[in-house]
Chains A and B, each alone.
Chain A
Amino acid sequence: MEALYSSAIGILTAAGIYLVLRRRTFPVILGLTFLTYAVNLFLFASGRLVRNMPPLLDETTTPTDPLPQALVLTAIVISFGMTAVIVMLALGSWLSGKDDRIDQPADDGQPREGGQS
């Protein structure tokens, strides 16, 4: 079962990386979401996997390691905030630009519209 679990994390990571390497903002965001799933599962598993022993003291005598759960909870919340922001950013660059590409023009010495700000 641990092997299964690990493979799942591997698959999620691979999917995430693949999508992050795309050239448009939206798939990249999806890729980051996949990576978030993967890393949350990973962090969760750092307390080792236990079935049906939630860290609720009145329900079980030998509860599982609660600390990783707390950490993952924090991680979930934070990554939610991050996702929200990058979605907004992607939206902004799409609306103020011509396309939803994620690439930057290099420092080619060409004039730039609007200059600073």
Chain B
Amino acid sequence: MNHWMILPLVVPPVVAAIIMLAARHLLSLARILSVGTVVLMVALSAGLFWFAADGTVSVYRMSNWPVPFGIVLVLDRLSALMLLLTMILSLAIVLYAIGSDWDAKGKHFHALLMFQIMGIAGAFLTGDIFNLFVFFEVLLIASYGMMVHGGGERRLRAGVQYVTYNLLGSTLFLFALGTIYAVTGTLNMADLAQKVALMAPEDSALIRVAAVLLLLVFAVKASIVPLHFWLPATYAEAPAPVAALFAIMTKVGAYAILRVYVFIFGPDVAVMGGIVGQWLLPAALITLAIGMVGVLGARSLGHLAAYAAIGSMGTLLIAVALFTPAGTAAALYYMVHSTLAGAVLFLVADMIRQGRAGEDRLIPGPALAQNGLIATLFLVAAIGMAGLPPLSGFLGKLLVLDAARTVDGAAWVWGAVLVGSLVAVVGFARGGSVLFWNTTDAPSQGEPVSSLALTATFGLVGLLVMLTVFAGPATAFLDATAAQLFDRAGMVAATLPPEAILEAAP
């Protein structure tokens, strides 16, 4: 059994503990430990990615108990992909945080980051639905700490709302889990998958309630309308590196939806009657609309970026809601893209604020010290988030449109996605021309952006370019990923021991 796959859940907390023990007052040491760990994690998750890329499903049985009685970690293509994405993003984030001295604006940034990484990694790796709840809580509470990092009234207020909203979400999560356990008597995802698939359609009410309540929990994370209200203020007020890191947090919701509503409560499952897709698609369309409208109407950079994030989640979830392998592959491609592009946007927004002495509103101001450079970065981020060529966002949108072609309601999807991009283009054009063109002649008061921060950001841009250039191999891999996710029998067989597999399993 390969012990490698547990390291992302063991090393970061230990490093965090060491920081708490030894480096509580030594920022420099904390920085070294933090960067070192993240680099290690990138390498590790790259290795795991390579290991899972051929379709191998590795199962790690915690405490050596037979599945489904203990907790298992499951590493397949999807979780490996998400893991790698998380770690790469974290690397850029930690470098930016150091380069921009954000990590010095409050205590324990790096310790919290370590815990944050662990929580996200756990959510991607676990094969147990209650353990998923635990890791949701880990990543949430860490995110509470990071969100209010540095303090300040508006941020703290936004923090209170963020925490309150997510506590409501956690409560709902437990209601859903209780119902699931009360019906199926199991918590292991693979076991759930096979049992739900075997359930009698005439006793579907309870399990459907459970599934739908759980969907709402993930919808909160993924900020699907009408459960998106927590996002704008949170993202707008959070420290920039944290907001950028949150780009992966919404994806945790999307990931969970894919994992649970394809693998467990899949569209083909008798008791579910395919209700999830029917309800998710309209919600996703509205989410896209709300997001793009928000981009158009945004008065401040923070809200511009936040609503762009909502809009991108809308596009992503449209593809998810198709619940077809093609749609899922498109969703995954767009997920990788929008995570990176969203992070870039938030980092650029921070550079702009820094260059404008903290001014966040979209009003004319003195030109930035590095106007051309940052304008270019903003253009790149805008192109990415609006889904224009030549960046991967455009390819992602084409994939989504192509996948939606065959489903009913395709016209709606096409209309929403295309009009949505137009609205986003207008919104970003307005914002950009105010920020970079409509500048006053007054000398800039802000300080220039450090080269480390720039390097981190350009690193992410570089990844976007790679994702575009190597779209062929990428999409091929993602097709395989989607296929593996949709192969329920295969996943069940790979996770459960033969004696635990029920007869007539799908």
Contacts and interface: CB of A to CB of B under 8 A. Distances in A.
Whether A and B touch directly in their complex, counting CB atoms under 8 A apart, is answered as yes
Contacts of A103: 157
B10 interface: no
Contacts of A47: 181-182
A104 B157 contact: yes
Given A39-B174, A43-B177, A46-B182, A86 B353 contact: no
A34 B163 CA distance: 16
Query: Main secondary structure on chain B at its contact with chain A?
Result: helix
A46 B180 CA distance: 9
Contacts of B303: 107
B165 to A, nearest CB: 10
Interface in B350-378: 350, 353, 357-361
Contacts of B177: 43, 71
Interface of A: 20, 25, 28, 32, 35-36, 38-40, 42-43, 45-48, 67-68, 71, 74-75, 78-79, 81-82, 85-86, 89-90, 92-93, 96-97, 102-105, 107-109, 111-117
Query: Main secondary structure on chain A at its contact with chain B?
Result: helix
Interface in B143-175: 144-145, 148, 150-154, 156-161, 163-164, 167-168, 170-171, 174-175
A93 B174 contact: no
Contacts of A113: 153
A55 B375 CA distance: 65
Nearest to B158: A104
B299 interface: yes
A8 B358 CA distance: 51
B109 interface: no
B179 interface: yes
Given A90-B160, A96-B152, A107 B299 contact: yes
A86 B141 contact: no
A40 B174 CA distance: 8
A89 B153 contact: no
Nearest to A75: B174
B390 interface: no
B253 interface: no
Nearest to B136: A78
A99 to B, nearest CB: 10
Query: Most B CB atoms within 10 A — which of A75, A90, A108?
Result: A75
Closest 10 CB pairs of A and B: A115-B358, A109-B299, A46-B178, A93-B156, A46-B182, A43-B178, A97-B153, A39-B174, A96-B153, A107-B303
A36 B240 CA distance: 32
Nearest to B157: A93
Given A78-B170, A116-B240, 6 more contacts: A71-B177, A92-B148, A92-B159, A112-B154, A115-B357, A116-B360
